[in-house]
Structure 1
């Protein structure tokens, strides 16, 4: 790994940490940077998942009180997230490298489109939640969360946005409850997928160290960024980058 690779990984990790803290979608940056330095697509995806997990855990810890209050209600979601994360990780490791590389532009495009329509997804979830007589997870919400977990273990980019649809059915309009649940479940599904990746040996630990450290700094520095840059500008930056990267991988 040369100096340019270290610089690219550090920059992607820093940007991803800041973007994840402010708007979500940072995995697009770390995964693409890991591909750019020459890692195989499956290894790049597994390495990216390990790299962003510390920041995810830190965010979840900050919401420990909200999670504690909602723990019993979130238990069905937690169980399907655990199973789905493991299945998604195993699915990734059993996907042929060439086949997964061919899926990359579609996965990035899918994650970008999800990011674009996230406000509509949240609004739809709120309307559905307002029609429910109880906030206990029903079969639809639980099944949807299971599918999200499989996707999260397999690729991860955009899974937070996908969870808005399932979690809005139970958490309604309470932003902190929704964000706490999302972070908790993301930790479960990605944490178990990461265990699968580590056991399989599909990790570049040198890259993990660089991206993870930069991601922590980016998350911390996002406080200043959030005060200076309007969120709609940040969202437009993520969308433009995602569309550009998916286009690049389609033609590359």
Structure 2
């Protein structure tokens, strides 16, 4: 790996970590950078998962005061995420690269569409009432499906989680974002164990990205509290559509 490749992966890691901390969808950038450098898609997906892990940790620490106030509900969703992520990662390793590459643009497009529709999908509280969570069953079921996706394909996992958490959980954006970051740690950790066991990770690529992701994850929380959400949403949607179009043309 050349110095230029290392520098590009570091920058891709920083921006992906920051965008993941703000709204999710940053893995579009890390996965895209790895594949653009010629890495096979399954290896790029597994490598991106392990590279993103420090960013999930640092952005979760930045939201720690919010997480402590909702640890009981978070624990249930985390347990469900363990099972779903393991299942998704095992399904990924059962495919070959051409099969997975054919799915990539559809996965990117679907995740972007869900994120873009999030504000309209979320139920609106009736006037004079406070927003409440959906039924106790809806949240774990939605998170289980999202965790399967996250273990299978890291790109767009944060987008899907923000969308499903917005539909099933009460609270403002920052509460949902804190919960999303915590659950991303669980999903990524389980998937990483499976990917390491399956020898699917490019360690030079991961090591080039990890420092940038860690810095970006913490910086992203700072930005999330200051940058208008509409701006962040627009950036994530644009990146998702661009990459989906690129992989449709490539395949």
Alignment TM class, shorter chain as reference: 0.7 to 0.9
> Pairwise mapping of residues 90-105 of structure 1 onto structure 2 (< 5 A)?
90-105=90-105
C-alpha distance after superposition, 1:99-140 (max 9, x if no partner): 00111111122222223223234x33x549x99997586222
Partner residue of 1:193? 191
Confirm whether residue 205 of structure 1 aligns to residue 170 of structure 2. Answer: no
CA distance change for structure 1 residues 71 and 9 in 2, over 3 Å: closer, same or farther? same
* Uncovered stretches (5+) of structure 2, i.e. residues with no partner: none
Contact 1:25 1:158 in 2 (8 A): yes
In the alignment, the residues of structure 2 paired with residue 227 and residue 145 of structure 1 have an alpha-carbon distance, to the nearest angstrom, of: 25
Report deviation, 1:176.
3.8
> Pairwise mapping of residues 84-233 of structure 1 onto structure 2 (< 5 A)?
84-121=84-121, 123-124=122-123, 127=125, 135=133, 138-168=136-166, 171-222=169-220, 231-233=229-231
The structure whose residues are more often helix, as a share, is 1
What is the TM-score normalised by the length of structure 2?
0.86
In the alignment, the residues of structure 2 paired with residue 150 and residue 37 of structure 1 have an alpha-carbon distance, to the nearest angstrom, of: 27
3-state SS of 1:119 partner: helix
Q: What number of residue pairs does the alignment pair up? A: 249
Q: CA RMSD in A?
A: 2.9
> Pairwise mapping of residues 1-20 of structure 1 onto structure 2 (< 5 A)?
1-20=1-20
What is the TM-score normalised by the length of structure 1?
0.85
3-state SS of 2:70 partner: helix
3-state SS of 2:106 partner: helix
In the alignment, the residues of structure 1 paired with residue 178 and residue 225 of structure 2 have an alpha-carbon distance, to the nearest angstrom, of: 22
